[in-house]
Amino acid sequence: MKGIVLAGGTGTRLHPITLPVSKQLLPVGNKPMIYYPISVLMVAGVQDILLITRPADVPMFRTLLGDGTHLGLNISYAEQPHPRGIAEALIIGADHIGQEHCALVLGDNIFHGTRFGRLLQSETRTMDGCTLFGYRVPDPERYGVGVTDEDGRLIAIEEKPSSPRSDLAITGLYLYDNEAVDIAKNIRPSARGELEITDVNRIYLQRDRAKLVDLGRGFAWLDTGTPESLLQAGQYVSMLEERQGVQIACLEELALRMGFIDAESCHRLGERMAGSGYGRYLMSIARELAS
């Protein structure tokens, strides 16, 4: 399975702090925001990742992530000069996807849960068509929502409904088979001029090949698109890390635990940042897992 992180857009709701820099490079806790969606792909077992962003932001992401080899990944980059919808990521990433399945994650979404990796790995193994992930919210009218029957089967997708029939918001993580590229190429722009991912998902639903997984209790989904939500996400991450003594979305540790790199490589990555608590954490984890 190939991975795509969509880290484009202008971050208008975060102006002026996003005027000089991509939203996905802003800090959430002690890490750049982009670490969180990449970590989602990593725990799913995805190592071949395309990062799509604005042309001006590509050099900064390259400086941060390089080609991913230090993490046992293959990270490549593509440009989205103007935000034309989430579904455009499938078109931009067509060559990257090739003949494989695809996991698409939005660059400003944060997922956390102790069973999340096992859940994703299970879903990627059994996926047939399209798999979406739902999270219950108090204000579903702000989101695309999934409507399920009494057996939990997805029967409708509503985009920002004024009278929601469900409180299951569809999160920014999507698993698709190889047909997604052709579907995206054949949908028409919406009234706001964008290729809507909801239209892609509805086609899968019409074909009876769309599934919605309710993340349920024990999981957290955070959208960091506003100053308030960005602050809340940072507080959430910092509190958990302080209380549990672990790092959330620590790419180097994930690479080690997933077997993408060895303990010696992880320790060297920590040494490069030894002046920070993050670097010292990496070295301690490497020593712990090497023993």
Task: Summarize the confidence of residues 117-140 as an average pLDDT.
Answer: 95
pTM of the model: 0.96
Q: Return the pLDDT at 105.
A: 98
Task: Summarize the confidence of residues 117-131 as an average pLDDT.
Answer: 95
Q: Return the pLDDT at 11.
A: 86
C-alpha triplet 61, 63, 65: angle, nearest 5° = 65
Task: Summarize the confidence of residues 89-114 as an average pLDDT.
Answer: 96
* Tens-digit pLDDT profile for residues 216-275: 888 999 988 889 999 999 999 999 999 999 999 999 999 999 999 999 999 999 999 999
Contact 59, 50 (CB under 8 A): no
Q: What is the 3-class SS of 173-190, one letter each residue?
A: EEEECCCHHHHHHHCCCC
Cis peptide before 189 (omega within 30 of 0): no
Structure tokens at 113: 């849960």
CA distances from residue 79 to 41, 42, 93, 95, 267 in whole angstroms, order as listed: 20, 22, 10, 13, 33
Inform me whether the pLDDT recorded for 291 exceeds 80.
Answer: no
* Tens-digit pLDDT profile for residues 81-97: 988 999 999 999 999 99
State residue 98 phi and psi, 5-degree precision: 60, -125
Indicate the pLDDT class of residue 10, thresholds 50, 70 and 90: confident
Indicate the pLDDT class of residue 191, thresholds 50, 70 and 90: confident
